[in-house]
Structure 1
Amino acid sequence: MSDRQELINKLIEKLELLFERQAEFTSEINNLKEELYRLQSEFPEANAEDDGLKVETPVVEKVETIEKVEITAEEPVLQNLTPVEASTPPVSSEHETPQDRSEDLESKRKSRPNKFRLESFIGENLLNKIGILITVIGVAIGAKYSIENNLISPSTRIILGYLMAIGLLGFGIKLKAKFAAFSAVLVSGAMVILYFITFFAYSFYDLISQGVTFALMVIFTLFTVVAAINYNKQIIAHLGLVGAYAVPFLLSDGSGRISALLSYMVIINLGIVVLSFKKYWKSLYLSAFVCTWLIYAACYFVEMPFEDQLLLGLSFPTIFFLIFYVTFLAFKMLKTEVLHSSDVVLLLLNSFLFYGFGYMILEADPVGQELLGVFSLVNALIHFIVSYILFKKNLGSKNLFYLASAMVLVFITITIPVQLNGNWVTLLWVTEAALLFWLGRTKSIPVYEKLAFPLILLAFLSLIEDWSVGYSGLGEHAVLPFIFNLYFLTSVLFIAAFGSMVWLSRNPAYPSTLKTDSIWIVVFKYGLSCLLLFTIYYAFRLEIASYWNQLLDRTKLTLDAENIYSTTFYNYDLMTFKTLWVLNYSLGFVAVLALVNLKVIKNEMLQKVVIGLSVISIFTFLTQGLYALSELRTSYLEPSEYFISTTFNLWLRYICYLFLAIVLWTGTKSVKGYRSDKIVNMIYDLVLHIALLWCLSSELIHWMDVMESEQSYKLGLSILWGLYSFVLIVFGLWKDKVYLRIGGIGLFALTLLKLFFYDISHLNTISKTIVFVSLGLLLLIVSFLYNKYKSRISHDNKDQLSI
């Protein structure tokens, strides 16, 4: 049963793929049809020079054929075919192959005379467009001259402009039957003039009212749409409608009619998008998109027209956004266009231009500043409605639904920091990231999984900012409860969300929807786990540091010296305690991480990380921790006159040693997993013995200082190092570890150098005797052991030095 279901799923996937290809073929067919229309109107004589052929008949036949093919392509032809029929490619005849058909078409193309020449292109196509452009410019220059010199009255100027435009329009329509291409250019130029003249009459001279102006604009727009459809020419739309966008730049003289201008642009845009959709002229839609937002940007940044008109200021970018958004969706759903990356860019530009201008308008208004979050949420709501309709009505492709849904999530993400602040931003972002990742993995939606990645980074950066504000921004005598505070709660919830994502990413039941070798997968696999570990570690570390910082602030003591100046004192032992407890926590964290990995996770990569962290934490304690312990000892032996030091300064070291011992033990357990790797074992053994010798040396110095001995760095250390050298050599012989024996000999050599160049010059006779006799006896015993076990040592050298 499962095999049958799997076969059905595969067939459904193939069918969806065929439907997508079908949509691509439909788009190509429409483009070819459009090109044929263009060639028919611009070169009507190209097919009529040989054999007395008529122009109309062959072109119409070809267009009808394409119409039939387009209708056929829009129907699911596979549903009525048998599997054999569906898989068999159609052929023209019994013996004809695709290669034969291709060669036949190529031979026909070569046999057709090429009538397209540069001279014809310039004379019949280019010159008329240049001519109408120069005519319009000439009329504009003449009108400008007459205005500046008061040659004719304003009403006369407008009437003459209308007469010229109407005359040009009538002449162009009359030439349509014989000279369609030339006629289209004349009609386009006439429409441009009508737009200009009407707006001049309203904006500059107040000769017609606003209502009449809009009525005329509607009429011109409708006429231009009808003419472009009738001529089947994009040039009419581009020159007649897009060309009208030049009007705003002529009106930027402080006339205060920007609202009327933008209303006029709304009418122009409606005509353009209707025409571009009906004739499938995508370039017209793109031209309108670019021109509209550029003109609006110029109006906003130069004129600043809506400083005190909040509602009016928001209405125009909203209308522009909705016009282009609805048209975009119509192209994708009704024209069955395939969603490309350029379409995603177009949708993002439209959405963010609208949001950007709306945000700036609201921010500049005192009332609007309170509505910024609502405005962001409204943007998300618009895309949610679109995604809901796409899903409910099953319109368009799945990618279109995913894109609309992604826009919902993007604007919800923007709403969070706009409306909220502090910890809420972090919590909502990390929750959204976890939800997106869960949907991407469990529902197999790649775009959701990808969207989760930037949100994860945003949430983490927001958490860092919360930490900075919460722990570093505490004022004097501020009280932040240990563990039970908002910042630590935020960290815990953040850790829970990240932990759920890590668990889901490693669950084999929910594999990634992305390619296994994708850079996203590699970054996510290791990056998210590292961020989780870092967050867990630092959440508690900051709490410990904050606790001791607050204790330090409470010990502030200010003393006045003869009313001239004051001196502030702190109990700096508390800073030393903070350092040591942070180190203890770090050692404990590494130890717990090692145990969890050994008992539960059992991940090889994490095991390597644990070994590395163990070595780092050990050396950090040996350098910083032991120095801090010596500072506490000094503070106890030389107490401050303002603060009391207790014996805890002396005994804290043994608590620290306990944490160090735990890390050494868990590190040894982790290294056992690399028993076959001799180098790893050897390095960790050396680290272990260096740590032991360092701690023993520190302990010796500690108690000799407490007992006020002056020989701690001379006699005591030399004897200790000599004894430890002896132990290393004995232990190396017992465990057959040549590197330990070599290390013991090296330590002996270092001890002897210290003895002759540092100790001997400051020791009395008895001390010198004790040191020399002790080291001499140890060297004799070592020599005896080497002689006794020389056979074993020789064998060890053959086996172990080979590494």
Structure 2
Amino acid sequence: MEYILIVVLIVLIIWVYQKLNRKIQILEQKISDLSKSNVNIGKPEQPFIEGINSEISPNDKIDVEKAVISTAEESPEEKKDWLNPLFDFIKQNVLTIIGIFTLVLGIGYFVKYAIDKNWIGENARMSIGFLAGFSIIIIAHFIRKSYSTFSSIIMGGGIAVLYFTTTIAFREYHLFTQNTAFVITCAITLFSIFLSYRYNSETLIIFSLFGGFLAPLMISTGQSNYIFLFTYLSLLNIGMLITVYLKNWKSVGWIAFIFTAIYLYFWTIQKTDLASIIFYIITYIIFYAFALQNYFKTNLLSKLDILMLVLINFSSIIGLVYIFSILRYEPLSIFPLSFALINMFFAFREYQNKKFERNYSVFAGIGISLLTLAVALQFKTHLITSVWAIEASLLLYIWKKTNHSIFKVFFYLLFPLVILSQMMTWTEYINSEKHLFIILNPVFLTSLVVIASCFFNLILLKKESKEKSETEFFENVFKVLCFGVIYLSILFELIYQLSSLHYVIILTYSFLYSIVFTSFLLLLKKKLSISEDLENLLIYGLLLLFAAHISTSQIVNAVISKEIRLSFYWVHLIYLIPLIYLIIKLIPQSEFLKQKIGYLLISLVCTLSVSFELYRIYIFSNDTTYKNIIQLQEHFSILYIPIIWAILSFISIFVGLTKNIPQLNKIGFGLLGITILKLYLYDVWQMDNVSRIIAFIILGIILLLSSFMFQKFKNMLKNLVEKNENSIDENI
């Protein structure tokens, strides 16, 4: 009964297919007739064109022709997304792809079911697999003229069945040896390539290439014979290269590059062998020639050709230098220097032809990047971090020269990897078994490469106009990451080199460096194209650094315990220089003071600075020991702090009135209120009589002066308003 239902279902499917196929053919005929009838629509008549041409001067005609040609050249390259053809192909053929995949699975399940029921033996199973594969290929052959893409996918499915049949016959049933299985897979690959040429099908050769690169995995026994494997892959890549030059099928080269890189890197990591260098060089030559295919024909480099040049140069460098470093061969710079010479040769060729456009920029950029990498590696920098940092800058440089957004996308994808790799590099400060030299150590030299890359990238990304771009958010994030990497690279080196000193010295120098670094960023905000939001963020960070440095310093305890010298206190006070410059110069030029919290934060930092530094000077000026330091601290807090705060509040009110800044008036009166509350609620009950009298007298005088000054300015403002009103009345 089940077999009858299957037969009926197959007959119904064939009948429905025939009906649909007939309707599709009728629609195609109607579309063809409509196309022929409307072929001349939209075409201007020749007399009209001649009339226009007669009214245009010869120079204008040349300009118009250039404009038309430039538009025709730019529009396909710039406006059309390079991924659109791939997405269109998938959308149009997704059912076909799913269908052939399902069919292959169906055949597999049928064979498995037959095996479970013991209907067929091992040889019969293999025969069914080969028969099914060839049957699918034959069916695809007969429908190729009407449905070329559909037939190519169907034929690819048939080839996949042949590959899987060979794999199962070898691995599961052991019907033939590994050498025989390899010969069969090679024969299937050659057969599929022949069919690709025969039917001029790029889709089919992609299936063939997948099969060719997966064949070694299908017949692998776990015993790695890398020499044999890469000899086979090199021959396969040479065939790919010939195919690309004859048919211009670029997708074939990219698939081959991805598979080859995976195999090479796996070999390099599993078994670092000197013989692999030969295959790295062969692979480099093959794919460098692949990237130059259009260049040799049209003397132009497309965006994907440029990307391949970048990838093959730097991916080869990573593998080759890694092998040399593991096997302890020298010099590491020999490979980047050699590859740099190859690229500089093509740059010199462009220079001789006086073509200083895209091609020259690409070859020269790659050559200079490789020379830079050679110098970096000679100083024993970390391989991956240095390669990725220089490669990221190169991608950004090529984007600037070619204006192809694909390079900017790859840059934004690669730069986070540079950050992660740099973070791994910093761990060497902790894991290093021997002490690292100052600056001239692999970790910091690697950091210098990344810092140079960051500066170069910031220069390239500097905006040429003040208009906000669509990618402003990403550019701001990128700038923050760059500043963060530069800051942390120097900070970690500083902390590592000072690690043997007292923690107070380490903390002080770290805070001072952080303050100076942030101040320089604000000082160079125009040259670095720092946006207003980022500038405000830096000011917030700088004020936080000031507050932390002032309030958390343990320099008093360290000096009293004679762990550090008193002279180091002058180093601690260096922060006053950027603080004064920030208040007088930087902040007034920014939009920071327009925020409600701006004046409050600045006043808080100034109050902390004056209070803590006068406290430290007071402690150092007395004969201080651990026995009397608590008594001195209480005396300063009770007697001097109210006076200091009262004076600061007086200054704040005075500046607020003279400069007409209401926020400072509020801050001054607020600080004065806190001082009075502190005095009456706590200090007065802790003082002796003499101190109490002195504090009340000084505070009273300050309060009277503040009140008098406020009243005076109030009267001045009142008189000024009345005078203006009288002058208006007289004019009326």
TM-score surpassing 0.5? Answer: yes
Q: Identical aligned pairs, as a percentage?
A: 17
Which residue of structure 2 lines up, in the alignment, with residue 765 of structure 1?
689
Alpha-carbon distance, 1:6 to partner:
5.6
The equivalences for 1:729-740 within 5 A come to 729-740=653-664
Which residue of structure 1 lines up, in the alignment, with residue 131 of structure 2?
192
Q: Is the 8 A contact 2:397 2:460 kept in 1?
A: yes
Alpha-carbon spacing, 1:741–1:417, altered in 2? closer, same or farther (3 Å):
farther
Q: 2:265 aligned with 1:352, yes or no? A: no
Q: Which amino acid aligns with 2:392?
A: A
Q: Is the 8 A contact 2:169 2:176 kept in 1?
A: no
Q: Is the 8 A contact 1:427 1:490 kept in 2?
A: yes
Q: 2:453 aligned with 1:497, yes or no? A: yes
Q: Tell me which of 353, 366, 389 is aligned to 2:293.
A: 389
The equivalences for 1:155-234 within 5 A come to 192=131
The equivalences for 1:60-99 within 5 A come to none
- Greater Rg, structure 1 or structure 2? 1
Q: Tell me which of 600, 605, 615 is aligned to 1:691.
A: 605
Q: 2:388 aligned with 1:472, yes or no? A: no
The equivalences for 1:663-674 within 5 A come to 663-674=579-590
Q: Which amino acid aligns with 2:635?
A: Q
Alpha-carbon distance, 1:488 to partner:
3.3
Alpha-carbon distance, 1:373 to partner:
5.9
Q: Which amino acid aligns with 2:514?
A: S
Alpha-carbon distance, 1:714 to partner:
1.0
Query: CA separation in 2, counterparts of 1:251 and 1:759?
Result: 94
Query: CA separation in 1, counterparts of 2:704 and 2:610?
Result: 24
Which residue of structure 2 lines up, in the alignment, with residue 106 of structure 1?
none
The equivalences for 1:458-537 within 5 A come to 458-469=417-428, 471-475=429-433, 478-506=434-462, 508=464, 519=471, 522-523=473-474, 525-537=475-487
Alpha-carbon distance, 1:759 to partner:
1.2
Which residue of structure 2 lines up, in the alignment, with residue 555 of structure 1?
none
Alpha-carbon distance, 1:795 to partner:
9.6
Query: CA separation in 2, counterparts of 1:618 and 1:431?
Result: 35
Query: CA separation in 2, counterparts of 1:602 and 1:239?
Result: 56
Q: Is the 8 A contact 2:650 2:706 kept in 1?
A: yes
Q: Is the 8 A contact 2:551 2:608 kept in 1?
A: no
Q: Deviations over 1:314-370 (max 9, x none)?
A: 34444555556655665545xxxxx7xxx4xx75544323332444356544xx544
Q: Deviations over 1:258-285 (max 9, x none)?
A: 2321221111221222223322345544
Alpha-carbon spacing, 1:312–1:375, altered in 2? closer, same or farther (3 Å):
closer
The equivalences for 1:713-728 within 5 A come to 713-728=637-652
Query: CA separation in 2, counterparts of 1:195 and 1:584?
Result: 76
Alpha-carbon distance, 1:591 to partner:
2.8
Query: CA separation in 2, counterparts of 1:429 and 1:627?
Result: 39
The equivalences for 1:428-443 within 5 A come to 428-443=387-402
Please state whether the residue corresponding to 1:393 is helix, strand or coil: helix
Q: Deviations over 1:44-71 (max 9, x none)?
A: xxxxxxxxxxxxxxxxxxxxxxxxxxxx
Which residue of structure 1 lines up, in the alignment, with residue 594 of structure 2?
679
Of 616-625 and 419-428, deviating more is 419-428
Q: 2:561 aligned with 1:647, yes or no? A: no
Alpha-carbon distance, 1:721 to partner:
1.5
Q: Tell me which of 537, 548, 558 is aligned to 1:635.
A: 558
The equivalences for 1:94-105 within 5 A come to none
Alpha-carbon spacing, 1:684–1:419, altered in 2? closer, same or farther (3 Å):
farther
Q: Which amino acid aligns with 1:496?
A: A
Q: Which amino acid aligns with 1:351?
A: F
Please state whether the residue corresponding to 2:487 is helix, strand or coil: helix
Q: Is the 8 A contact 1:467 1:487 kept in 2?
A: yes
Q: 2:577 aligned with 1:661, yes or no? A: yes
Alpha-carbon distance, 1:711 to partner:
0.8
Query: CA separation in 1, counterparts of 2:663 and 2:133?
Result: 97
Please state whether the residue corresponding to 1:480 is helix, strand or coil: coil
Q: Is the 8 A contact 1:541 1:582 kept in 2?
A: yes
Q: Is the 8 A contact 1:429 1:455 kept in 2?
A: yes
Q: Is the 8 A contact 1:636 1:645 kept in 2?
A: yes
Which residue of structure 1 lines up, in the alignment, with residue 328 of structure 2?
none
Q: Is the 8 A contact 1:488 1:539 kept in 2?
A: yes
Query: CA separation in 1, counterparts of 2:288 and 2:544?
Result: 55
Of 778-787 and 229-238, deviating more is 229-238
Q: Is the 8 A contact 2:649 2:672 kept in 1?
A: yes
Q: Which amino acid aligns with 2:600?
A: L
Query: CA separation in 2, counterparts of 1:745 and 1:437?
Result: 54
Alpha-carbon distance, 1:460 to partner:
3.4
Query: CA separation in 2, counterparts of 1:530 and 1:290?
Result: 43
Q: Is the 8 A contact 1:266 1:319 kept in 2?
A: no
Please state whether the residue corresponding to 2:709 is helix, strand or coil: helix
Query: CA separation in 1, counterparts of 2:210 and 2:528?
Result: 57
Q: Deviations over 1:738-759 (max 9, x none)?
A: 2222222111211121112221
Of 498-507 and 404-413, deviating more is 404-413
Which residue of structure 1 lines up, in the alignment, with residue 667 of structure 2?
743
Query: CA separation in 1, counterparts of 2:556 and 2:203?
Result: 81
Q: Which amino acid aligns with 1:623?
A: A
Query: CA separation in 1, counterparts of 2:534 and 2:70?
Result: 43
Q: Is the 8 A contact 2:547 2:608 kept in 1?
A: yes
Q: Which amino acid aligns with 2:286?
A: I
Q: 2:68 aligned with 1:11, yes or no? A: yes
Which residue of structure 2 lines up, in the alignment, with residue 43 of structure 1?
none
Which residue of structure 2 lines up, in the alignment, with residue 107 of structure 1?
none
Alpha-carbon distance, 1:441 to partner:
1.8
Which residue of structure 2 lines up, in the alignment, with residue 785 of structure 1?
709
Q: Which amino acid aligns with 2:131?
A: V
Alpha-carbon spacing, 1:312–1:645, altered in 2? closer, same or farther (3 Å):
closer
Q: Deviations over 1:681-726 (max 9, x none)?
A: x744433332232122113322443425341111121222222222
Q: Deviations over 1:206-265 (max 9, x none)?
A: xxxxxxxxxxxxxxx9x9999999999959967975543323312323467123212211
Q: Is the 8 A contact 2:167 2:181 kept in 1?
A: yes
Query: CA separation in 2, counterparts of 1:671 and 1:719?
Result: 28
Alpha-carbon spacing, 1:331–1:596, altered in 2? closer, same or farther (3 Å):
same
Which structure 2 residue ranges, 5 or more long, are not aligned?
1-57, 80-84, 90-102, 326-380, 625-631, 722-732
Q: Which amino acid aligns with 1:429?
A: W
Which residue of structure 1 lines up, in the alignment, with residue 193 of structure 2?
273
Alpha-carbon spacing, 1:232–1:615, altered in 2? closer, same or farther (3 Å):
closer
Which structure 1 residue ranges, 5 or more long, are not aligned?
22-26, 32-128, 149-153, 166-188, 197-220, 334-338, 553-573, 798-803
Alpha-carbon distance, 1:760 to partner:
2.2
Alpha-carbon distance, 1:663 to partner:
3.1
Equivalent pairs counted in the alignment come to: 569
Q: Tell me which of 483, 499, 523 is aligned to 1:595.
A: 523
Alpha-carbon spacing, 1:15–1:635, altered in 2? closer, same or farther (3 Å):
closer
Alpha-carbon spacing, 1:359–1:700, altered in 2? closer, same or farther (3 Å):
closer
Query: CA separation in 1, counterparts of 2:584 and 2:155?
Result: 79
Which residue of structure 2 lines up, in the alignment, with residue 249 of structure 1?
168
Q: Is the 8 A contact 1:192 1:243 kept in 2?
A: no
Q: Is the 8 A contact 2:170 2:219 kept in 1?
A: no
Q: Which amino acid aligns with 1:436?
A: L
Q: Which amino acid aligns with 2:572?
A: C
Alpha-carbon distance, 1:9 to partner:
4.0
Q: Which amino acid aligns with 1:738?
A: P
Q: 2:538 aligned with 1:579, yes or no? A: no
Q: Is the 8 A contact 1:380 1:408 kept in 2?
A: yes
C-alpha RMSD of the superposition: 4.9
Query: CA separation in 1, counterparts of 2:647 and 2:294?
Result: 81
Q: Deviations over 1:746-796 (max 9, x none)?
A: 112111211122212221222222222322232223222333332346799
Please state whether the residue corresponding to 1:251 is helix, strand or coil: helix
Alpha-carbon distance, 1:291 to partner:
4.9
Q: 2:217 aligned with 1:297, yes or no? A: yes
Which residue of structure 2 lines up, in the alignment, with residue 701 of structure 1?
615
Q: Is the 8 A contact 2:291 2:309 kept in 1?
A: yes
Which residue of structure 1 lines up, in the alignment, with residue 496 of structure 2?
546
Q: Is the 8 A contact 1:438 1:504 kept in 2?
A: yes
Query: CA separation in 2, counterparts of 1:612 and 1:19?
Result: 42
Query: CA separation in 2, counterparts of 1:456 and 1:358?
Result: 24
